[in-house]
Every structure is written in structure tokens, then in C-alpha cells.
Amino acid sequence: MTQSAVRATVRDDRREPDPEEDPAEGPANGGDAPASGTDGGHRPRRGRRLLKWFAAVLALLIAGSATAGYLYYRHLNDKIEKDPLHLGDNKVAEPTPNAAGQTPLNILLIGSDARDTEENQQLGGARETFGSTPLADVQMLVHLSADRTNMSVISMPRDTLVHIPKCTDPDDGTVYPASNGRVMTNQSLGHGGPGCTVATWENLTGIHIDHFVMVDFAGVVSMADAVGGVPVCVDANIHSRDSQGHGSGLKLPEGTHPVKGEQALQWLRTRYGFEDGSDLARAKAQHMYMNSLVRQLRENATLSSPNKLRRLAEKATEALTVDPGLDTVKKLYDLSTELRKVEPERITMTTMPNRYVGARVEPTEDAEKLFRLVREDIALDGRDKKPEKERETAPADPAAEDAEIAVQVRNGTRTDTLAAASGRTSTIAGVLRDKGFTGATADTTGASSEKRTVVRYPSADLEGDARRVAEALGIPASAVKRSTDVSGVTLVVGADWREGTAYEAPEEDDETPESAHALNGADDKACMHVNPAFTW
């Protein structure tokens, strides 16, 4: 993807046609097709290239052993595009290591709809979109647990309404102001590059992101060809094409069949013909493809062929844009080695729970629960052992006397639908002073939005103080976070504490919400249901 294309002016998403649509019919967002949701119905296209990243990354784990020498290694490295990891001002601190000194690994996988080459244009859509600003139409967070025993994947719908933070392009200094209100998340890519999509995810989820991998249209075609096809299943004959020309063109007989090349892209784009025609159905099909691809790469002995490995390496490195932490074949190989430690049965695919907001969607309370599980490194398959609270490690420095702890109280009670609760900083600062924290002060400079009450601290020497403040107020230890956004112990009163003086920690369970539509990576019996209107 050219850097100039990424930095072009963000186009109106209404000009963005769905490649599954007939260009003459206009964008998929038009007409009477509603957004997808739990109650069915069509929703604007998104996630159609969900799997490109995975083929590329796993291909490179194979390719690492196929490099025939230093010159060839340099040749592959030179083909990998690089872009900065994070373009926003506010970064989420890295997670605290577990008792064994291990930390999770979070990778944001981005599918760009870039149409900046003839190949991408042919695969991607109408002529008038050639060279236009790419959108991040596929966004998936891959969370590899600290102990490397399990992997969780969260897909975010392309039309999720989010606040895009201010992003600065380090190459030319262009500043993209924070969005005025909520806009579609896929527009984040046009605010300086993939580093702004990373910043947007961190802003929404509170999850620290270590790397990103981005692939364009042509990537999924070349990857599928290189691995020899990916088996997929339909429960009836399908032809994704209606009388008005809508559909991806996918045509398959009932049963399980390997798809590759453009047919693989058609599978990933198909909405017309799968289940209720919603984008949730499309995401389900993409998750099935992804699971099958993982098993294929693990089990397909033909990939031991040097020629196939070389072809795979060439195609993978051509397809990728990555952050500097992944800018060589060796780094990608090391990453894929970590990913390969997880058996398919410990991989859980999910879609971010969402609800309608007009023709768009927004995260629900279940989405915040899903984000919390990832932040706390809790496996989405429910097979983790319950953490033992008493094993919590002591802070490096013990807490000072309560009267010596300086605490700043901020108001984070604003939500997307409610104004900030007035007087909360003064009230809670008063509660702290009554408890002996005479150094507590109220920050009245303005309100922010924080779903859960949290105590933040900037450095290890203040961790004990932060924990003591949380303990005094009945705030759980999991809500004590290290952050570079604060200069001292800072209590942010969240939307869960809009009234009263006694904090009541919300009851939490560690079950993956049903609305996340979890799919296990070892499920090789999954088969897409075909809408009878699209059978033959």
C-alpha cells in the first residue's frame, strides 16, 4: 500500500462500494439493507478480508526455514512495507508480567481495501475508487496469552462507531484532529496510517497493542494459492448472485471443498447467500475459513516442498505492511513460532458484541466484558484455572502512610448517552480525606469517559500507594493500572460510580458472552448454512 494513498483525505464512507455489490447499484450502505445485528438483516459490508493477515503471518513461520541465504533473506526483507506502530498521543501501558515474568502478546490485524494497484482494483471494485484513501475494513485483535497456552481473537465490525483520537503522521508532521463525535472505525486508517487504527483500538478497549500486520486485497488471493487451497463447507449448493447482480459470485456445490485464489476472496466477501445475509454471517464464514487455514498449515505436509515454501515467502512478504517490531523475516518467524505454540482447540474466535445505532453499530456492555477478559488475560474458552487472589505479588515499594499519599481525583462518569455526573471529584476527594488521605485533591478541569472506576499510577515506586487507595475505597486490585498518562496516583471515578459515596464493585464473571458468537479453532465440522434464495 502506498504511503501517499494512506495519507490522502478521508473519503465519505458512502462513496465506498462493497465489492460484493453491482457498482451500478451504488454502495452497500444504500437501499433498504439494514446493519447486521443479533436480530438479523443486512448491514453495511465489513470484515470481508478478515483472514488475509493470518495466511501471511503463518506463511512466514514456514518461510523462515526456506531462506536459502543472506541475499535471499535481504531480498525478502526489502519487500516488507513498514509503518509506525502508534500515532496517537495516549498509549496504554504494557501489562504487568505474571508470576513467571511472562506478558501477553496483542497483535492488531488489519485488512485494507486499498485499490492502489491494477490487481487490487480488479479484485476490489469500481474504477472511480482507484487510488482513493484505504479503509481499515477488517480489524481483528489477536491476543496470545502470557503463558502461550491459548489465543483469543476479537473481530470489530467495520462500521462500529468510535472516537478516533488525534493522530500525527511522523513522516510529514500532518496532524489529524480527534474525531468530532463518533465515526466509523474503518476511517482510522486514513488518519495517518495503521498506527492510528492501533491508537483507536487502544482508546476503545484499554488493551495494549504490541504489533500490527496489514494486508491488502491481493494478499488473500496470493496466500490462498500458495498454500494450495483452504477447505470450506456449505450445507447446500450456493451461488452468491441475485437477479440484480448483487453478490460475490461464489459458486460451490454442497459439501466441503478447497478454495483458493479469487474463489477464496469470494468466500471471505460473501454476504448474499449465507444465512440471513447479514455481515454477522459473513464474519462467521470468515472465522470458519481462518480455523481451517490454521489446521491446513499445521497438517499439510506438501508445504515441506522448497519451491512451495519459496513461493509462499515471496507472496507473504509482498503482501505485508507491519510495524518496525516485525520488519524482518526473522522477527515474523519468531512471532509465528509463538503463535504456533497454541493448539487449535485453544483458539477462540469472536465478534465484538454490538447493537444498532441507526445504520451503524456500537459496542455493548458485553463488548466491554470481552475487552476486560482480554485485558486480564483470561482465556475465552473457559479452560483457564481460576486465579488465586492470595498469590498476587507485592509491589516493589510498600505504601506510604495514608496522609502522605497524594491522590488526584478525576471525573470519568461521562458516557456516550449521559453527561458527566456533577460534583463527583469533590465528593470522592472528600471521602478520601475522611479516610485519612489528606493529600486527596479534586481535578475540576473537565470530565472524561471511563466505563469502570480505575486507579492509575505512573511508576513502580507508586504502585503500593495506588493499591492502598483502591483498598480503602473497596476498588478491586484488577482496577489498579500502571499508565504513562498520569504523573501521580490518580483515581478516575467511572460511569459505574455516578452517585453515592461507597463504591460497589460490579459483579463480574469470566464467561465469554454469548453475543460474541465464539467459535472454537478445532471445530472442523462447522458448515455455513445457505439461504434457500441463493441455492441452485
Is the CB of residue 186 less than 8 Å from the CB of residue 82?
Answer: no
- Taking residues 52-64, report their average pLDDT: 48
Going by C-beta distance under 8 Å and a sequence separation of 6 or more, which residues neighbour residue 105? 143, 144, 210, 211, 335, 338
C-beta separation of 235 from 274 below 8 A: no
pLDDT for position 492 = 96
pLDDT at residue 131 greater than cutoff 60: no
**Residue 502 above 80 pLDDT?**
yes
HEC readout, 350-398:
EECCEEEECCEEEECHHHHHHHHHHHCCCCCCCCCCCCCHHHCCCCCCC
Indicate whether 175 pLDDT > 80. yes
Region(s) of the chain under CATH 3.40.630.190 = 45-380+519-534
Q: How many other C-beta atoms can be found within 10 angstroms of the C-beta atom of residue 258?
A: 15
Strand, coil or helix: what is 115?
coil
pLDDT at residue 114 in the model: 55
Q: pLDDT tens digits for 33-53?
A: 334 444 444 444 444 444 444
Q: Is 480 helix (H, G, I), strand (E, B) or coil?
A: strand
Of residues 112 and 349, which shows the higher confidence score?
349
Per the model's pLDDT, the better-predicted residue between 117 and 450 turns out to be 450
Q: What are the C-alpha distances in Å from 26 to residues 17, 46, 217, 454?
A: 6, 16, 20, 46
C-alpha distances in angstroms, 200 versus 12, 160, 173, 196, 209? 19, 11, 19, 6, 11
pLDDT at 240: 96
Give the confidence band of 197 by pLDDT, cuts at 50, 70, 90. very high
Q: Residue 504 contacts by C-beta under 8 Å, 6 or more apart in sequence? A: 474
Q: What type of residue is 23?
A: P
**Cell, residue 183:** 465515526
Region 506-527: mean pLDDT is 90
- Grid cell at residue 32: 433498504
Supply the pTM of this predicted model. Answer: 0.72
* Whole-number Cα distances in Å, 354 to 36, 154, 408: 9, 12, 34
Element (H, E) at 266: helix 261-269
Domain 45-380+519-534 classification at class level: alpha beta
Query: What local confidence, expressed as pLDDT, does residue 481 receive?
Result: 86
pLDDT given at position 445:
87
Q: What is the pLDDT of residue 48?
A: 43
Task: Look at the domain 395-497 and name its fold.
Answer: Alpha-Beta Plaits (3.30.70)
CA Rg value for the chain = 24
d(CA 510, CA 438): 37
In which region does residue 419 sit, left (phi positive, over 0), alpha (psi from -120 to 50) or beta (all else)? beta
Residue 261 pLDDT: 81
User: Who wins on pLDDT, 224 or 174?
Assistant: 174
Output 483 or 321, whichever has higher pLDDT.
321
Q: What is the pLDDT of residues 382-409, one digit of tens each?
A: 998 655 444 456 776 889 999 999 999 9
Residue with cell 489446521: 295
Q: What is the mean pLDDT of the chain?
A: 81
User: What pLDDT sits at residue 220?
Assistant: 66
pLDDT of 10 > 50? The answer is no
The DSSP bridge pattern shows strands 151-156 and 136-144 to be antiparallel
CB neighbours of 507 closer than 8 A, spacing ≥ 6? Answer: none
Other beta carbons less than 10 A from residue 91's beta carbon: 17
Asked whether the predicted pLDDT for residue 306 surpasses 70, the reply is no
- The Cα–Cα gap between 425 and 412 comes to 9
Position 333 scores a pLDDT of: 84
What pLDDT shows up at residue 130? Answer: 45
C-alpha cell read off for 498: 455516578
Q: Give me the count of residues in the chain.
A: 536
Handedness of CA 43, 44, 49, 53 (dihedral sign): negative
- Which run of H or of E encompasses 320? strand 320-322
pLDDT at 305: 62
Q: Where in the chain is the domain with CATH 3.30.70.2390?
A: 395-497
Separation between Cα atoms, residue 330 and residue 328, nearest integer Å: 5
Write down the pLDDT at residue 28: 35
* Torsion, Cα of 387, 389, 391, 393 (10° steps): 110
What confidence tier does 167 reach under pLDDT thresholds 50, 70, 90? very high
pLDDT of residue 39: 42
**Closest to 135 measured CA to CA, from 293, 12, 228, 286:** 12
**Distance in Å from the first CA to the final CA of the chain:** 38
DSSP structure string for 125-154: --GGGTTPPP-EEEEEEEEE-TTSS-EEEE
Confirm if 489 and 469 have CB atoms less than 8 A apart.
Answer: yes
pLDDT in tens, 308-322: 667 767 777 877 899
pLDDT surpasses 80 at 63: no
Q: What pLDDT is attached to residue 390?
A: 40
| 251-280 confidence digits (pLDDT tens) | 999 999 999 888 888 898 898 999 988 777
The percent helix, strand, coil of the chain (3-state, each to 5) is: 35, 20, 45
Residue 62 has which C-alpha cell?
Answer: 514456514
Q: What are φ and ψ of residue 56, in 5° steps?
A: -65, -50
| Cβ neighbours for 461, distance < 8 A, ≥ 6 positions apart | 396, 397
Residue in the structure block whose three cell numbers are 466505563: 451
- Which pLDDT tens digit goes with each residue over 408-444? 999 999 987 889 999 999 999 999 999 999 999 999 8
Which string of DSSP letters, residue by residue, matches 193-228?
SHHHHHHHHHHHH-----EEEEE-HHHHHHHHHHHT
